[in-house]
Structure 1
Amino acid sequence: MVKVVSCLAADLEMESVDDLTKVIDSIQDSGLSGESVNAERDDDNAVFLCSKCKRPLGDTCGWKGSDPEEHCIMLKAVSTYVTVEKEQVLSKQPSEYGCIFENLLCSGCNSIIGKIYRCTPKQFDFKRDLFCLDVDAVDSYIFGSASQQAVPESEEPVLFENRMALEEEIEKAKAVLAVLQCKLASLETSLLHDKG
């Protein structure tokens, strides 16, 4: 499967572009503004990066959908690292007959990362004037997917609030240990006297 879908699907436990589309569409259909989506659904937000130079190209806040047949994701907005070629091209692919588009370039490495359709037949109107990023040219980072921690939760440092209680427990343990040590010493002494 293509890279961006694989990354997103693995992190969100999905298997296809359709599953990813459903999740992102459900976020946007919930009627939340982009700001609210960020606050309430950080686990579903992602940043799309150029697969060659890793510059950020866009994010799921600009998500409009995907086209699994063409292996592209469609965004209504992209970052300033995406440049649009001025030259318009008439598509020569049979699946896009009659489409006029402009190539999208990553300004960091000048690689072609997708298209923006300017003129389309009726069946492709859903793509017109959207940034269609080729999933083979895009990597992604899912917010909240980082798993490495500087201090594991099981080894959290002792805080000042807990220090007094911890010191009391240590003193109790020392007292019990001292009593046990005295009993052991008296047992050893009585055993030595019984043998002797």
Structure 2
Amino acid sequence: MAAREKSLKHRQKSENTTFEASSIDSTAVEEKLFGQAEEDDGPVVFICGKCKLPVGDSLSWDGSEDGQNQIRLKRVTDNVLVGKDNRLYEVSKRSLCLIVDLVCRGCHSVLGMVYASTPKNLDHKRFTFCFNVADIDSYVLGSASQMLAAEGPKEQPVTLEYRGIVEQQLTEMKMLVMSMAQRLEEIEAGLQEGCDEA
């Protein structure tokens, strides 16, 4: 009985350490991959490193693998094709996996893999989309900073109030031009009379 309890406690302890070893702090990895945590930035769009087609986004984030330089997503766009042929992949000397390649629809580049069969310590990777960080780029939504310069230093939006002011100024200018035209006619008429008398 005591030996059985000891065996049970040993098994629980090893299961706990296995679980703890596979836990990943995704915040630390996000900071390494994106420069800052996503809380400070907008959502991230992942794009093919070669043809720039979007392949996924950070809203479907599942984690990352620092040692293998991979990110995992739960969902991807239709621009990602999942291969049909399983092949063996050796993660480490004792970890053989069956994987299927992820291929870009646009340029047919291999972007990563889906783990179809894994040893128990890699079960967290199974049936997620694992992208090689070297084969994709990312774009943070809202990070654009370039703007066109305003044409004038006091440029204003056209509002009803602004339109009323412009119409009033145009009316005043029209009255001034008409007044000047009338005055010019009077001067010309006076010059004409002066020429006729001489």
**TM-score after normalising by structure 2:** 0.59
Question: C-alpha separation between the residues in 2 aligned to 1:156 and 1:148?
Answer: 20
SS at match of 1:145: coil
Q: 1:156 to 1:76 in 2, by over 3 A?
A: farther
Q: Deviations over 1:88-114 (max 9, x none)?
A: 111134267221110100011111000
**2:111 aligned residue:** 113
Question: C-alpha separation between the residues in 2 aligned to 1:135 and 1:66?
Answer: 10
Q: Deviations over 1:159-189 (max 9, x none)?
A: 3457449x99xxxxxxxxxxxxxxxxxxxxx
Question: C-alpha separation between the residues in 1 aligned to 2:33 and 2:42?
Answer: 14
**TM-score after normalising by structure 1:** 0.60
Question: C-alpha separation between the residues in 1 aligned to 2:153 and 2:71?
Answer: 42
Q: Of the two structures, which has the highest relative contact order with CA contacts closer than 8 Å and spacing of 6 or more?
A: 1
What amino acid is the match of 1:131? F
**1:88 aligned residue:** 86
Q: Deviations over 1:32-61 (max 9, x none)?
A: xxxxxxxxx8x4301100010001100111
Give aligned-pair identity as a percent. 35
Q: 1:159 to 1:70 in 2, by over 3 A?
A: same
Superposed structure 1 runs of 4+ greater than 3 Å apart: 17-20, 160-165
Q: Cα distance, 1:19 vs. partner? A: 7.1
Q: What are the equivalent positions in structure 2 for 1:1-196 lying under 5 Å apart?
A: 16-17=32-33, 23-24=37-38, 43-94=41-92, 97-151=95-149, 155=153, 157-161=155-159, 163=162, 164=165
What amino acid is the match of 1:55? L
Question: C-alpha separation between the residues in 1 aligned to 2:68 and 2:157?
Answer: 55
Question: C-alpha separation between the residues in 2 aligned to 1:64 and 1:92?
Answer: 22
**1:175 aligned residue:** none
Q: Quick check: which has more Rg, 1 or 2?
A: 2
CA RMSD of aligned residues (A): 3.0
8 Å CA contact retained: 1:45, 1:61: yes
Q: 1:160 to 1:104 in 2, by over 3 A?
A: closer
Question: C-alpha separation between the residues in 2 aligned to 1:49 and 1:156?
Answer: 40
What is the total number of aligned residue pairs between the two structures? Answer: 136
8 Å CA contact retained: 1:89, 1:101: yes
Structure 2 unaligned segments of length 5 or more: list them.
1-29, 170-198
SS at match of 2:85: strand
Question: C-alpha separation between the residues in 1 aligned to 2:81 and 2:127?
Answer: 14
Q: Cα distance, 1:136 vs. partner? A: 0.4
SS at match of 1:86: coil
Q: Deviations over 1:55-104 (max 9, x none)?
A: 11001111111111110110000010101111111113426722111010
